[in-house]
Amino acid sequence: MRYLSDEELQLASRFLFLSMAMVVIQQDKQHIQKGTFKIKEPYLNLLEKMTAEATDERRELRRRMRDKNIDVVTLAKNDSFSSYLFLCRGSEEKHNYFNPAIRKKVQAIIEELMEKAQPPYQHYAAADT
């Protein structure tokens, strides 16, 4: 039975998947720092900007969740599924997610953050000078 409204579920889900995306970004930063990249700074700068965007959004989501008395708790994880408990107004709602579906949601959020972190592309032709 559904206890959370669509808005509450959307808010809690976005918080959950955004938090996962932030973990992935931090892991990617560590891989780049330890990796054999010749020029690391542009990648690290992009990841830093993405982290800042994600942190700002998550702070706002956390505030809205606190106002609505919503919390998300990890229940269980295995190779195929992850289970989370969504708490709201004294009610509990369990959600099971297929791990490949989680990956797609996290990837979409990372792509959104990447777009927000990059300035619009400007092409400067050498022939124009």
Closest CA to 12 of 56, 75, 66: 66
| Section 15-42 average pLDDT | 95
Beta strands 81-88; 70-77: pairing state: antiparallel
- Distance separating alpha carbons of residues 25 and 110, to the nearest angstrom: 8
Closest CA to 24 of 94, 96, 113: 113
- Distance separating alpha carbons of residues 21 and 61, to the nearest angstrom: 14
Q: What is the pLDDT of residues 85-124, one digit of tens each?
A: 999 988 899 999 999 999 999 999 999 999 999 877 765 6
pLDDT recorded at residue 1: 62
Closest CA to 73 of 19, 21, 7: 19
